[in-house]
Amino acid sequence: MNTDLATAAVALLIETGLAGCAAILLVLTLRRPVRSTFGADLGYALWLLVPLALLAVLVPAGTRPDAMQAVTVTVRALPEAIARPADTPALASPAGIILVVWLIGASAMAARLIQQQRRFLAGLGPVHTDAPGLLRAGSSAGLPAVIGIVRQHIVLPHDFETRFDAEQRALVLHHERIHIARHDTRINALVAVLRCLHWFNPLLHGAVARFRHDQELSCDAQVIACRPSARRRYGEAMLQTQLSDAALPLGCHWSGFERTPLFPLKERIAMLKSPVPSIARRRTGTTLVAALASLIAVSAAAVDVGNTTPPASEDVSYRRMAPPEYPSDALARREHGQVVLKVLVATDGSASQIELESSSGSESIDTAAITAVKTWQFNPGSHNGSPVAGWVLVPINFELNAPNGQESPATPEEADHDAGTATDHAATRNAPDSADTNSETTALDSIYIRPAGD
């Protein structure tokens, strides 16, 4: 991994972290009013705004060629003997160090969640299949529950029949099957992955408990919507459950986790007394949530466009250049012409991407030009004192004779001097106005390559 990739990765973590925090704060502010006004289902649906905000940041912004500024360029061909300074190892850079710390933290969080999952499963005791999709555990704490990512199963407590009567058993199983139908265990697995990626964000970890609580409230609301006359029996079933002393990161608790005070049964039972929202009110709430989702997507896109890399504020010039060699086969065939390469200059001055903008008509000459430019080191543009990446056009002329019919210079030093002088004059004569913002790339003046031995 080079320094540019490390810097980009750190920037992505920061951008997604900030977007996630903004979305979480919005959801935490709205979840109770939305739940009480439009129902628990829409309170749970609000949490979709968080991954939407993250995805909106990850979607790349479209390019805006009209925002690129053409700048005057001076090409100076330096002798090939100039030594190229050693690049700083990516891991020794500040961004590399941050990435190493992040990787250690993400691994530690993953290990913690895996340990919690194993502890819960170990606490189930001996487990056997009771019926298709139903497992019977040897314990009762925290059960019933839904476990499994690829294949989801309902785990029943060993005293399921003695603890609940027939009606309560039907209500409890209905609750758990809603989890399966909505793929809640898989959603919780994605939340666990997000916690690993953003282990450094305390707001995210605090929000997970509230998210899981809203998840259970939503299931409760769906059960009551189907069987409104069973509110009392459903509440009694909640009171007859045992809390678990272990968390279940990749699953769904029926009763919650006793060490987490944000799963109060009292609130769930109180919600059972609330009337089921009317269809009109639910539709209004759905429209509001959809509008919020659209607003977040549009806002993220606007920020992304606003953060488009600005044009370079200084000349993009060559630091070191090893001129291309005139291919012997092209020379034998008396082939010549101009190659125009489109080069993405990275923040460290390297040519990170090269595209053939215009061919010379000779494959050998085109290949020789691309091979040489890959080794070139540029001065990147800068914005507010910091280097920025940018595209430049690099025309390279392969001529059998120098311009105006004159013979090519006899020495490399003279060739370098003449190329620099010609370029300086061409830059002064042909450089676009710095106020022109309609050029997609910066055009470097032509470099003339004379055949070896001329």
Mean per-residue pLDDT, 369-375:
86
Distance CA 338, CA 354 (A): 16
Are 185 and 153 a contacting pair, CB within 8 Å? no
Distance CA 402, CA 414 (A): 12
Are 335 and 319 a contacting pair, CB within 8 Å? no
Asked if the model's pLDDT at residue 43 lies above 80, the reply is yes
Of 129, 211, 134, the C-alpha closest to 169 is 134
Return the SS3 of 442: strand
Over residues 75-126, the pLDDT tens digits come to 333 333 333 444 445 556 788 889 999 999 999 999 999 999 999 999 999 9
Mean per-residue pLDDT, 288-294:
87
Delineate the domains of the chain, giving CATH numbers in brackets. Answer: 3-64+89-298 (no CATH), 318-449 (3.30.2420.10)
Task: State residue 80's pLDDT score.
Answer: 35
Asked if the model's pLDDT at residue 29 lies above 90, the reply is yes
Asked if the model's pLDDT at residue 358 lies above 80, the reply is yes
- Which tokens belong to 41? 């289902």
- Lowest mean per-residue pLDDT among 93-102, 117-126, 191-200, 419-428: 419-428
Distance CA 315, CA 394 (A): 14
Greater model confidence, 305 or 126: 126
Task: State residue 424's pLDDT score.
Answer: 39
Distance CA 190, CA 193 (A): 5
Q: HSE-up of 161 (CA within 13 Å, CB side)?
A: 2
Of 369, 437, 435, 432, the C-alpha closest to 73 is 432
Sign of CA dihedral 396, 314, 15, 32: negative
Place of tokens 């979480």: 24
Task: State residue 440's pLDDT score.
Answer: 47
Asked if the model's pLDDT at residue 5 lies above 80, the reply is no
Asked if the model's pLDDT at residue 416 lies above 50, the reply is no
Distance CA 225, CA 317 (A): 70
Distance CA 351, CA 373 (A): 7
Asked if the model's pLDDT at residue 395 lies above 70, the reply is yes
Mean per-residue pLDDT, 254-258:
59
Asked if the model's pLDDT at residue 172 lies above 70, the reply is yes
Task: State residue 443's pLDDT score.
Answer: 55
Task: State residue 118's pLDDT score.
Answer: 93
Are 217 and 40 a contacting pair, CB within 8 Å? yes
Residues 6 or more apart from 162 whose CB is under 8 A from it? none
Q: How confident is the model at residue 347 (pLDDT cuts 50, 70, 90)?
A: confident
Q: What is the chain's mean pLDDT, rounded?
A: 77
Mean per-residue pLDDT, 344-368:
87
Q: What's the one-letter identity of residue 421?
A: T
Which of 92-96, 217-221, 299-303 has the highest mean predicted lDDT (pLDDT)?
Answer: 217-221
144: cis peptide before it, omega within 30°?
yes
